[in-house]
Amino acid sequence: MDNSDTNTPTTAEAEVAHDFPGLIRVFTDGRIQRFKGTDVVPPSTPTTHPVSSKDVNLNPHSTLSARLFLPTPPSTTTNHRRRLPLLVYFHGGGFCTSSPFTSTYHHYIAAVAAEAKLVAVSVQYRLAPEHPIPAAYEDSWAALQWVASHRSNAGPEPWLNENVDFGRVFLAGDSAGANIVHNLTMLLGDPDWDIGMDILGVCLVHPYFWGSVPLGSETMDLDRRAFVNRLWPFVCPELPDNDDPRINPVGEGSPSLAWLGCRRVLICVAEKDVLKERGWIYYSSLSRSGWIGVVEIKETQGEGHVFHLHDLASDKAQDLIKSLARFFNRDQPPSI
């Protein structure tokens, strides 16, 4: 995935073309340094949770792949195995770092699968700058189509055929992954993009939404705002506008959120996250849009962006995971 490591430059004349401290650095000679999300652990890596995991290739003609998680032993009744909800998860990392195969996401998704007692498909998508937007969206859509190919229990992956209740499919992601979830769900609300599989709910954790005009607390931290201002043009150089509807879904000219193709939405924000304001605005805009569904929001006090990934054992991370599990297992709302 990376074409360089995080060592110091060896070419004296190389200059920095793009620098996002703590995330990624690109040099004029083409080398790329990623400062997070570069480690890879095998699916057999033990966790503290009773789940099995394995890696699967989703397209024999590409590198599109995912890590699957299955609670062990599968939930059973006296006569037969109970089918489980399905979570399709998209990792964060600013569209330019990380993967499902890092220790961080391996342990996090294992924890969610165990707590919520669901099957999880954690999707790998191509990263910028080698593969700028829309590559991440294209790969994520292809992964969703692969999942939908199992809806009649006749797809290529036995874990999905044998264990999933396709009436209870959820999408979730954090940061850039939450952005992907929003954009996929908008497509799913359009009959022309029907994949033959309904999405019951989506969860947006600290979603990466932005805009050219600062809002609320965004005006108080100029350094962090400057960092985020530069990120979308870096990962999407062909359309570098921070008011692009894909990054600013409530901006002027963006499609109505009433088209969102699911019935339930949970938005999670963190008090000290520079992206918090955008999560709240998304919540209020969706509530007023005429969308037929149930939306809720959870704010974690005293914490910053994706805090839960840094210490899964902390009380607040555990509280967030339990909130996700409750959302995935809540009784379906009545038809409207």
* pTM for this model (two decimals): 0.93
Which residues, including other chains, have CB under 8 Å from residue 309's CB and lie 6 or more apart?
A: 104, 105, 108, 174
Going across the sheet that includes 264-270, the strands are 51-57, 65-71, 119-124, 84-90, 164-174, 201-205, 264-270, 294-300
Per-residue confidence (pLDDT) for residue 5, from 0 to 100: 46
Per-residue confidence (pLDDT) for residue 332, from 0 to 100: 52
* Angle at CA of residue 89, ends 87 and 299, nearest 5°: 95
135-183 confidence digits (pLDDT tens): 999 999 999 999 999 999 999 999 999 999 999 999 999 999 999 999 9
The residue ranges of every structural domain in the chain are 36-329
Per-residue confidence (pLDDT) for residue 306, from 0 to 100: 99
Q: What is the mean pLDDT of the chain?
A: 93
- Rounded to 5 degrees, what are φ and ψ at 76? -135, 160
In our burial notation (b when 16+ CB lie closer than 10 A, e otherwise), range 257-281 reads: beebbbbbbbbbbbeebbbbbbbeb
Per-residue confidence (pLDDT) for residue 2, from 0 to 100: 39
Q: How confident is the model at residue 6 (pLDDT cuts 50, 70, 90)?
A: very low
Per-residue confidence (pLDDT) for residue 47, from 0 to 100: 86
* Angle at CA of residue 293, ends 289 and 299, nearest 5°: 80
- Which residue would you say has higher pLDDT here, 76 or 334? 76
Per-residue confidence (pLDDT) for residue 76, from 0 to 100: 52
45-94 confidence digits (pLDDT tens): 888 899 999 999 999 999 999 999 999 875 555 446 789 999 999 999 99
Per-residue confidence (pLDDT) for residue 331, from 0 to 100: 74
Per-residue confidence (pLDDT) for residue 72, from 0 to 100: 87
Q: How confident is the model at residue 44 (pLDDT cuts 50, 70, 90)?
A: confident
Per-residue confidence (pLDDT) for residue 14, from 0 to 100: 81
Per-residue confidence (pLDDT) for residue 9, from 0 to 100: 45
pLDDT at residue 215 tops 70: yes
106-144 confidence digits (pLDDT tens): 999 999 999 999 999 999 999 999 999 999 999 999 999
Q: Which of 99, 122, 140, 175 is catalytic?
A: 175
44 annotated active-site: no
Which of 17-21, 75-79, 186-190, 259-263 has the least mean pLDDT?
75-79
Looking at domain 36-329, its CATH class is alpha beta
217-252 confidence digits (pLDDT tens): 999 989 999 999 999 999 999 999 999 999 999 999
